[in-house]
Amino acid sequence: MFTDARRVVDPDKAAVVVASTGATVTYAELDARSARFARWMFEAGLRRGDHIAVLSDNDPVVFELYWGAIRSGLYITVVNHHGTSDDLAYVVADSGARVLVASAALRSTAQALVGRIPDSCLRLAFGGTVDGYDSYADAVGSVSAEPLPTQPRGADMVYSSGTTGRPKGIKSPLPDRQIHESPGDPLTAIVETYYGFGPDTVYLSPAPIYHAAPLRYSAATQSLGGTVVMMGRFDAGDALAAIEKYRVTHSQWVPTHFVRMLKLPEAERNRYDLSSLRVAVHAAAPCPVEVKQAMLDWWGDILFEYYSCSENNGSTLIDSAEWRRKPGSVGRDGVQGIAHVCGDDGRELGPGEVGLLYFERDDWSFEYHNDPDKTAAARHPAHPTWTTVGDVGYIDEDRYLYLTDRATFMIISGGVNIYPQQIENCLAVHPLIWDVAVIGVADAEMGQSVQAVVQLVPGTAPSDDLARDVIGYARDRLAHYMCPREVRFVDVLPRTETGKLAKHRL
């Protein structure tokens, strides 16, 4: 079985539960199905280091595909199905996928890829028929569930969200060991040690499974013999109801989820029994201080924040008690890598100085698939084991990290560097703002000026008076040079399902 070698798991225990229906897949079923898929791929000629791609919504079948690949020494990419047909075809072709498995729930998207990906890529569909795809059930159903004689450990290869350009595959070397051999995936040890994941864990996954964190945390939960509760999509009320119904013990969120839940009517928020929840992990973006404080007031000191990225080049961690002492921090380094903040010239900066964030790791490497220039640009010019993904921040005198923004989002106004994240964090808690992005726009005098792009709470009408109120709200809380000079109202802001702003679309 694919679980941690130390674990003896009841084969009838639920490995995954569908939150909306209660439908379950047991460990025995997941083990057999993933073994069948692994054997089918072997008989189709796939070998260690080959690649498969999956196009699916949040469906439990993803886990049998994932574990089938992981116990075969393969790379697996779960594709962001919200991209354009060009983007999806690019990812499948760029990854070198020899198999594409698609859900019939995404029939039109899957069919649009036929003829746009290499003919050598085998295509299977589950959950119904899809033109141009063979039946997954027919292909795998008659294959033996006996595990292959050797089961080398594979790995995921996620693609960046593409918020600043075309997505890039993030590829790490395959582990040189079998699926049952220790150590397992590094994340499994982290969630076990720091968050108390184990066989009794009931993990709520409200985010899309194609994203790195939901996929990896769900896999770690199953490695340790816990149960994953998978939501089809995030809804604030449904998430709270799932915690109560399934007695969820662990969960993972992004700040946008917190904001949506906090904006529910108080009676709605308080009607659910959340007493089973022991750990609420959050990441993906810096959480506005007022938002996190409100969540702590509501849920208590069970919030654990981490900073990491799909590249997995380093991370920081902070619990609730630490955060109360260091509000706004995303934690200290040392768990995975040592953090360094450097100036434009590569020189390491001192405490409190803002610069480009690098992590130093001797035990990990990655590359951007088919993009040696981007891979090289991620390395520090003088320290090849220091890598960056473009985030900007500073480290205080106690080595707590504070993020300010991504380097590509920085606004330069009148020669002053302005980081939009701090302004967005301020405006996100305005009572009439549902969502907000801050960007730089051309300004003849200043080079760039600050513009707030605002999505209002449903039922609120935009107006000049409201725009002035938003600007005044910022001026009461921020340095005046940071405040928006203009407010633009939009119906909806472009966010990925993982909560990241796709600012290039603005």
Half-sphere exposure of 139 (CA within 13 A, CB side): 20
Whether the CB-CB separation of 157 and 169 falls below 8 Å is answered with: yes
Mean pLDDT of 84-96: 92
Mean pLDDT of 486-498: 85
Domain definitions of the chain by residue range? 26-181, 410-505
pLDDT on residue 88: 93
Mean pLDDT of 94-105: 97
Whether the CB-CB separation of 26 and 9 falls below 8 Å is answered with: no
pLDDT on residue 444: 65
Q: What H or E segment, with its residue span, contains residue 474?
A: helix 464-475
Whether the CB-CB separation of 52 and 95 falls below 8 Å is answered with: no
Say how far apart CA 77 and CA 250 lie, in whole Å: 25
Angle at 154 between CA 153 and CA 156, to 5 degrees: 145
What 3 state SS string does 88-149 have?
HHHHHHHHCCCEEEEEHHHHHHHHHHCCCCCCCCEEEEECCCCCCCEEHHHHHHCCCCCCCC
| pLDDT tens-digit series, residues 175-220 | 999 998 877 788 899 999 999 999 999 999 999 999 899 999 999 9
Q: What are the residues whose beta carbons fall under 8 Å from the beta carbon of 235, sequence distance 6 or more?
A: none
Q: What does each C-alpha distance from 72 to 224, 367, 457 come to in angstroms?
A: 20, 22, 48
pLDDT on residue 288: 83
β 75-78/14-18 pair status: unpaired
- Mean pLDDT estimate for the chain: 91
| pLDDT tens-digit series, residues 301-333 | 999 999 998 888 999 999 999 999 999 999 999
- What would the DSSP string read from start to end of 477-492? TS-GGGS-SEEEE-S-
Percent of the chain residues past pLDDT 90, beyond the cut: 73
Six token digits for residue 6: 């130390």
Residue 497: which pLDDT band, with cuts at 50, 70 and 90? low
Q: Which CB contacts under 8 angstroms, 24+ apart, belong to 316-323?
A: 316/401, 317/194, 318/400, 320/296, 322/400, 323/292, 323/296
Q: Which CATH code is given to the segment(s) 26-181?
A: 3.40.50.980
| pLDDT tens-digit series, residues 359-399 | 999 887 889 999 899 899 899 999 989 999 888 899 999 99
Per-residue pLDDT at 51 exceeds 60: yes
- What would the DSSP string read from start to end of 230-273? E-SS--HHHHHHHHHHHT--EEEE-HHHHHHHHTS-HHHHHTS-
Whether the CB-CB separation of 137 and 143 falls below 8 Å is answered with: no
Residue 165: which pLDDT band, with cuts at 50, 70 and 90? low
Say how far apart CA 482 and CA 87 lie, in whole Å: 35
Q: What are the residues whose beta carbons fall under 8 Å from the beta carbon of 10, sequence distance 6 or more?
A: 27
Model pTM score: 0.84
Residue 448: which pLDDT band, with cuts at 50, 70 and 90? confident
pLDDT on residue 162: 52
Smallest Cα–Cα separation from 428: which of 354, 321, 501, 355? 501
Question: Per-residue b/e over 23-47, b at no fewer than 16 CB within 10 Å?
Answer: ebbbbbbbbbbbbbbbbbbbeeebe
Say how far apart CA 107 and CA 1 lie, in whole Å: 32
Is the CATH code 3.30.1360.200 the one for domain 410-505?
Answer: no
